Structure 1
Amino acid sequence: MPSLRSHAAAISAALAVTLAASSGALAQKKYDSGASDTEIKIGNIMPYSGPASAYGVIGRTEAAYFKMINDKGGINGRKINFITYDDAYSPPKTVEQARKLVESDEVLLIFNSLGTPPNSAIHKYMNSKKVPQLFVATGATKWNDPKDFPWTMGWQPNYQSETQIYAKYIMKEMPTAKIAVLYQNDDYGKDYLKGLEDGLGAKGASMIVMKESYEISSPTIDNQIVKLKSSGADVFINITTPKFAAQAIKKLNEVGWKPTHFLNNVSASVGSVIKPAGYENAQGIISAAYMKDVSDTQWKDDPGMKEFLAFMDKEFPEGNKLDGGTIVGYGVAQTLVEVLKKSGDDLTRANVMKQAASLKDFRTEVLLPGIKINTSATDFAPISQLQLMRFKGEKWELFGDVISADVGG
C-alpha cells in the first residue's frame, strides 16, 4: 500500500499538471483589437456606388455567407461582425473608410477590399499599422510582396499571369497577329498591359499596333474603339472593368469590327457584362477562368456547385446567381473562414497572417477542378492557375489545360 507521503506527492503532482494545463489553456487565448471570446470583427470596403458598382454584389454575398456561418454557431464559438463600407471606387474615400475601420471600429483585419487604385491608396497605411489587408479583391501583381508588405495578400490570379497566358496563346495560334489594346488608365490597367508585353517578349513591340487608354470617370469608350478599329488590328485585348467591357462588346458590333477578342477575367461575368452587351455580340470572345461558371451545364450535378446554389437560394435569394461576383464572394469568404478556423484561439493579427500564409492545397469547391490554393511565407499569391475559355451561345466553354503562371511580386 502506498505511503501517505507518496499519495500526497501524487496528488500535488496531479494538481500541478492540472494547473499547468489550465494556465496553458488560458495562455493560448490571445487577442488583438477586433477579437474576443464572442466575436471577430472583420472590415471590408466595396464600391457599392460609382463606376465600379457592379462589383458591390461581392460584398453583399460575403455578408450573407458570414451571416450563415454565424447562424451555424460561428467560428470556434465566435460570431463574425462584418462591417462593410462604400468607397465608390474612389481612393481618397478608401483611405477614409480604412482609417475608420482600423481606428474607430477597431477591426481585426480588412478583408477583400476591392479594386487596384483603392487598395494601392491604403497599402502603406495597412502595413504601417500592421493590420492584415487580406485577400484583396484585385489581381495586381504587387500584392505578392511578403518581404516589403508582409500584411497584404491577394487571392485571385494576378493580372500579369492572365495576360501572359493570352500572350502564350497568341504566339502559338496567331504568330503574325496585329494587336490593339484598350486599357483602363490606372494601376489595374497597366498591370495587365505589362503582363501582355512581357508575355509577347521581343516581338511585342511590332505585334502591338495600337494602345488606347480611358479614364474610369469617362462616360464611354466609343471613340477609343473607333480609333483601335482603324489600326487594322485582327486581335483585340480588352482590359476593362464591367461597365466599359459591356460598352466595348456592343461597340465592336456596331462598327463591324471582328477581331479575335480577348476579355480580361474581371469582366467575364455573364450576368453583369455579357448579357447586358447582348449574347449575339459576345460570340467567340476568349477569356480565362479559375472558378466554375453557374451558367455552364457541365456543373449541374457538381457537389460544389449544388452547395453554392443552395446557399444562394437560402441565404441570398435576391443575388444574381449568373453574376460572377456572387461566386467570387462565396469562394473568398470560404477561404477566410478556413484561415480563421486554423487561427484557433490565437486571434492576433500576426497569427492570422501566419495561417493565411500556410494554406496547402486548400480548395473551395467553386474553383475549377485541378486548381488549388497554396501560400507560404515567401508566396502571397494564393491562386496562380487559369484555364482558357470561349463564349458560345449563352455561356463560356472551357478549352485546353489548366495553365500555371509563375509571376512573382
Structure 2
Amino acid sequence: MRFTPWLRRAAALAAFSTLSWAHAQILIGQTVGITGSAAATVAESMKGAALYIDHINARGGVGGQKVEIVSLDDKFDPKLTLDNTRILIEEKGVVGLFMTRGTPHTQGIMPLLDQHGVPLVGPSTGAIALHKPVHKYIFNVRAPYQREVEKAITHLNTLGVKRIGVVHVDDTFGADGLAGAQLGFKANSLEALFVEKFDRAKPDFSAIAPRVATKEPQAVIFIGTGAAVVDGIKALRGAGVTGQIVTLSNNASGGFVKALGDQARGVVVTQVFPSERSLNHAVIKEAMDLARARNAGELTPAMVEGFVSAKVLVEGLRRAGAKPDRAKLHAGLESIKNWDLGGMELNYSATDHSGLTFSDLAIIGPDGRFRR
C-alpha cells in the first residue's frame, strides 16, 4: 500500500497548497472518508486543519519538530476504518490519531485505542457514546449530536411548528440522533409525527418519501450523512413534502450545499462552532487571516471544525513536552483546563473529555451561505 501524506492528499482534494512534509518528526494518523458519501465535507475539514498545521510548521513546528498527519482513505466504511487504524498504530507508529469521521467508524476502533494507549483528538462525530461514559483515549472537541437535535426541536416548537417527523440512517449514528430527537420531543411535550429509517449501505427513499408526504409534516429532522441526505431531501421534495428540513452539523459544508443545488435554500443545518464569518470570535478571525494569506477561499463550517480541532491537537502536543509519545500526549491533553482557543473555552480532565459545548442553528440562504 502506498501512503500519501495527509496534506498532499488534502491539496489534491481541496486545491489547497501545503508545505513539504519530508522532514516531519511527529507522526499523527488519520483514517477518514477521502472518497465515499462524506468526501465533500471531509475535504473541507482537512483543508481547515491544514491551515493551522501548515502555520505551525512554518514557524518551526512544536518544540522544533514538524507535525505530519498521515491520512488513509477508509471510503467511509467502518471496516476499512478499523483496518487503517491498525496500520497507522501498529505499522506507522503514530503518536496519536486525529479527526476520524463517523459514529460506527469511531466506536469500532475504541478497543484498539485502549490496547495501544493511543489518544484520538477531535473525532468528527457528536455521538453521545464518545462522551458518556468518558473514554480514556477519546478527546472530543465538538458538542454531542443529541444536544443539536434537542435544540432544533425546541427552536421549531417556539415557532409554533408541532408536526415534526424524523428520518434517520439505520446505524449507531442514526440511533443516537433519534435519541436526541426523543429528548427534544419530551422536553417540549410533543410526539414524533413519524419515524422512518433507511439503510446506510444502500439508501433508498422511493417508499419512504411518499409515506412522509402523506403525513404532511411541518418539519422533518433528517439524520444521515452527505450524499444520502442530499438524495433523501431531493426525494422528499419530489414527493411533495413542503415542510422545513433540518439536518445535523456533520453536513455543514459547502460541498453539501452544492450537491443539494436548487433544493439547498431554506434547509436548516445545526452548527457546533461559531459562524465562519463571525469576527466576534478570535479563532474565526485567525482562521480567516490564514485562509486569506494562502488564497484558500472563504471559510466553511467544516473548515472551522478542522481548524479548531487542529489547534487542540497542537496544544496537546505542546503540553506533551520534548519528544512526545502516546502517554505524554494523553497527559498533555488532560492538562488542558480553562484554555481560551479564541473566544471559546475548552476544558478536559480525567473525568470529562467532552471539549466544547457550543451549539447553534443556521439556514442555507439563496446565495448558498449558512446564515445564523
Q: TM-score, normalised by structure 1?
A: 0.76
Identify the residue that residue 182 of structure 2 maps to in structure 1.
Answer: 197
Q: Structure 1 residue 236 and structure 2 residue 223: aligned?
A: no
Distance 2:95 2:305 in 1: 22
Over residues 49-86 of structure 1, what are the superposed CA-to-partner deviations in whole Å (9 max), with x where a residue is unaligned? Answer: 12222233123543453233222101011111221111
Q: Secondary structure at the match of 1:236?
A: strand
Distance 1:97 1:320 in 2: 31
Cα pair distance change 1:275/1:90, threshold 3 Å: closer
Q: Secondary structure at the match of 2:124?
A: coil
By how many angstroms is 1:46 displaced?
1.1
Distance 2:239 2:149 in 1: 26
Cα pair distance change 1:278/1:180, threshold 3 Å: same
Distance 2:133 2:187 in 1: 30
Larger RCO: 1 or 2 (CA < 8 Å, sep 6+): 2
Same amino acid, percent of matched pairs: 23
Q: Secondary structure at the match of 1:221?
A: coil
Distance 1:61 1:268 in 2: 13
Q: Secondary structure at the match of 1:117?
A: helix
Identify the residue that residue 93 of structure 2 maps to in structure 1.
Answer: 106
Identify the residue that residue 257 of structure 1 maps to in structure 2.
Answer: 241
Letter in 1 for 2:319: K
Distance 1:392 1:328 in 2: 21
Distance 1:260 1:247 in 2: 16
Distance 1:277 1:289 in 2: 18
Letter in 2 for 1:275: K
By how many angstroms is 1:384 displaced?
1.3
Cα pair distance change 1:146/1:349, threshold 3 Å: farther
Over residues 212-262 of structure 1, what are the superposed CA-to-partner deviations in whole Å (9 max), with x where a residue is unaligned? Answer: 112232255354223212222222111121223333343443333221322
Q: Which runs of 5+ in 1 are unaligned?
A: 1-37, 399-409
Over residues 87-124 of structure 1, what are the superposed CA-to-partner deviations in whole Å (9 max), with x where a residue is unaligned? Answer: 11111111111111111111111111111111111111
Identify the residue that residue 185 of structure 1 maps to in structure 2.
Answer: 170
Which of 57, 63, 68 pairs up with 1:70?
57
Q: Structure 1 residue 285 and structure 2 residue 257: aligned?
A: no
Report 1:36-51 matches (<5 A).
Answer: 39-51=25-37
Cα pair distance change 1:89/1:385, threshold 3 Å: same
Distance 2:297 2:224 in 1: 21
Letter in 1 for 2:27: K
By how many angstroms is 1:126 displaced?
1.0
Does the 8 Å contact 1:264/1:287 carry over to 2?
yes
Distance 2:324 2:337 in 1: 20
Does the 8 Å contact 1:87/1:97 carry over to 2?
yes
Does the 8 Å contact 1:69/1:75 carry over to 2?
yes
Distance 1:313 1:190 in 2: 40
By how many angstroms is 1:314 displaced?
4.4
Which of 113, 118, 121 pairs up with 2:105?
118
Cα pair distance change 1:158/1:252, threshold 3 Å: same
Cα pair distance change 1:202/1:164, threshold 3 Å: closer
Letter in 1 for 2:210: V
Cα pair distance change 1:220/1:310, threshold 3 Å: farther
Does the 8 Å contact 1:112/1:136 carry over to 2?
yes
Cα pair distance change 1:140/1:65, threshold 3 Å: same
Distance 2:49 2:364 in 1: 28
Q: Structure 1 residue 163 and structure 2 residue 149: aligned?
A: yes
Which of 370, 391, 398 pairs up with 2:364?
391
Identify the residue that residue 255 of structure 2 maps to in structure 1.
Answer: 272
Distance 2:41 2:217 in 1: 31
Identify the residue that residue 140 of structure 2 maps to in structure 1.
Answer: 154
Identify the residue that residue 245 of structure 1 maps to in structure 2.
Answer: 229
Residues 134-143 or 223-232, more deviating: 223-232
By how many angstroms is 1:203 displaced?
7.2
Greater Rg, structure 1 or structure 2?
1
Which of 343, 355, 363 pairs up with 1:382?
355
Which of 185, 191, 204 pairs up with 1:207?
191
Which of 69, 72, 81 pairs up with 1:85?
72
Q: Structure 1 residue 144 and structure 2 residue 131: aligned?
A: yes
Q: Secondary structure at the match of 1:181?
A: strand
By how many angstroms is 1:202 displaced?
7.9
Identify the residue that residue 5 of structure 2 maps to in structure 1.
Answer: none
Distance 2:187 2:57 in 1: 53
Does the 8 Å contact 2:99/2:124 carry over to 1?
yes
Distance 2:240 2:130 in 1: 39
Q: Which runs of 5+ in 2 are unaligned?
A: 1-23
Q: TM-score, normalised by structure 2?
A: 0.83
Letter in 1 for 2:329: V
Distance 1:221 1:374 in 2: 41
By how many angstroms is 1:43 displaced?
0.8
RMSD: 2.7
Letter in 1 for 2:116: K
**Number of residues paired by the alignment?**
348
Q: Secondary structure at the match of 1:180?
A: strand
Does the 8 Å contact 2:41/2:252 carry over to 1?
no
Cα pair distance change 1:231/1:189, threshold 3 Å: same
Does the 8 Å contact 1:46/1:59 carry over to 2?
no
